[in-house]
Amino acid sequence: MAASQRSPATSRDGDSDPTSIGALVVAERLSVTVGAGPTETRIVSAASFEVPAGALFAITGPSGSGKTTLLNLLAGIDRPTEGRLWFAGKSIVGESENALARWRARNVGIVFQFFHLIPTLTAAENVLLALELGRQVPRRDWRERVTTCLGAVGMQTYAHRLPSELSGGEQQRVAIARALANDPPLIVADEPTGNLDSKNSEIVFSLLRELTDRDKTVVYVTHDQDLAGRATAAIDLLDGRVVASRGPDGGLPQ
């Protein structure tokens, strides 16, 4: 959904959130409303939760429960109609469109269910494009950065292949390399293994988990109970509401 379809909420008080030491993301009563008048519907409803820095954080829930909508808020792709959202202690909801785009380039890497690599570009060129668009890394470092990112997912030997010359699992590994290009602290992944067989699903999930050993925070949406169970923290959605949450201490759902 285009952000312009809704009026953005504004930051109501100050920029820093003193209550959330150790959390990378703090969401407070986030809501997303679509339509107007009699067709008005809340597709995310007063969602409050924290994503600890370094977490492997799962969002689960049935189809249509609002998982993608919520992930898009965390990624700064979309804005809440109401509620507050802090990232590393800074409010991001009231930012202008341009400022939000710059924030996203620095802070968020995105992995999609269907990979979304550019089909006419090689694996290396797909990562390079993210560097060009992100404008975070000096041009002189691009070549080394492409090699490092493809190396991190074991795809350096496939650098010159087109996506059509790669399996689904290999394409998703390149997509993870692309998400890492600008070295963002947060990686969001919407059903990253949803289109993969179990072997490739395991490879891709393990790569995402390894990122949390390297100071990344990973938020992923999944339908897979096994993958959800391996998260260090999680929330479960139903009809746009957070109906259960699990923290890093392994606490039971509330």
Ligand X SMILES: Nc1ncnc2c1ncn2[C@@H]1O[C@H](COP(=O)(O)OP(=O)(O)OP(=O)(O)O)[C@@H](O)[C@H]1O
Q: Which of 4, 63, 98, 164 binds ligand X (CB under 6 A)?
A: 63
User: 90 forms bridges with which residues in the sheet?
Assistant: 16, 87
What would the two tokens of residue 166 be? 């790669």
Q: Which of 17, 26, 50, 66 binds ligand X (CB under 6 A)?
A: 66
Distance CA 29, CA 249 (A): 23
Positions 2 through 41 that interact with ligand X (CB under 6 A): 34
- Closest by CA to 189, choosing from 22, 59, 64, 4, is 59
Is the distance from CB of 59 to CB of 10 less than 8 angstroms? no
Positions 56 through 85 that interact with Mg ion (CB under 5 A): 67-68
Virtual CA dihedral for 59, 63, 68, 74, nearest 10 degrees?
-30
Q: Which is nearer to ligand X, 4 or 164 (CB)?
A: 4
Q: What's the one-letter identity of residue 114?
A: F
Shortest Å distance, C-beta 75 to ligand X:
13
- Closest by CA to 86, choosing from 23, 44, 7, 32, is 23
Q: Which of 7, 29, 64, 151 binds ligand X (CB under 6 A)?
A: 64
Q: Which of 26, 43, 92, 127 binds ligand X (CB under 6 A)?
A: 43
Q: Which is nearer to Mg ion, 113 or 148 (CB)?
A: 113
Q: Which is nearer to Mg ion, 86 or 220 (CB)?
A: 220
- Closest by CA to 8, choosing from 76, 105, 106, is 76
Shortest Å distance, C-beta 124 to ligand X:
31
Phi–psi pair at 39, nearest 5 degrees: -95, 5
Distance CA 67, CA 77 (A): 14
Q: Which is nearer to ligand X, 1 or 137 (CB)?
A: 1
Using DSSP's 3-state secondary structure scheme, residue 152 falls into helix
Binding residues for Mg ion, total number by CB under 5 A: 2
Q: Which of 61, 83, 109, 184 binds ligand X (CB under 6 A)?
A: 61
What would the two tokens of residue 6 be? 């809704």
Instruction: Pick the piece of the chain touching ligand X (CB under 6 A) from 16-24, 60-68, 79-87, 121-129.
Output: 60-68
Virtual CA dihedral for 143, 146, 151, 154, nearest 10 degrees?
-130
Instruction: Pick the piece of the chain touching ligand X (CB under 6 A) from 6-14, 17-25, 64-72, 164-172.
Output: 64-72
Q: Which is nearer to ligand X, 39 or 164 (CB)?
A: 39
Instruction: Pick the piece of the chain touching ligand X (CB under 6 A) from 50-58, 62-70, 81-89, 138-146.
Output: 62-70
Q: Which is nearer to Mg ion, 47 or 105 (CB)?
A: 47
Longest distance between any two alpha carbons in the chain, whole Å: 56
Write out the residues near Mg ion by the rule CB under 5 A: 67-68
Write out the residues near ligand X by the rule CB under 6 A: 1, 34, 43, 61, 63-69
